[in-house]
Amino acid sequence: MPYVNIKITREGATAEQKALLIQGVTELLRDTLGKNPATTVVVIDEVDTDNWGIGGESVTVRRKQGQ
């Protein structure tokens, strides 16, 4: 049973976009590794940009700096 955890910043991904991610990852595992879609689990975690750090700074700060 494949388990895929997708982490994205919480910036307005729609339910439709998340559904496409779930469908696409499920199909990729089926097509590439022969995994059964019925037993494939996909979880999407949305993380506030204040709680996601890159290079010692939060994404919030980096975005304000244009990075």
| pLDDT, tens digit (0-9, with 9 covering 90-100), for 17-63 | 999 999 999 999 999 999 999 999 999 999 999 999 999 999 999 99
pLDDT greater than 90 at residue 67: no
Distance CA 56, CA 60 (A): 12
- Which residues are known catalytic residues? 2
Q: Which two tokens stand for residue 37?
A: 């879609």
CA distances to 3, 6, 30, 49 from 54, in Å: 25, 17, 32, 10
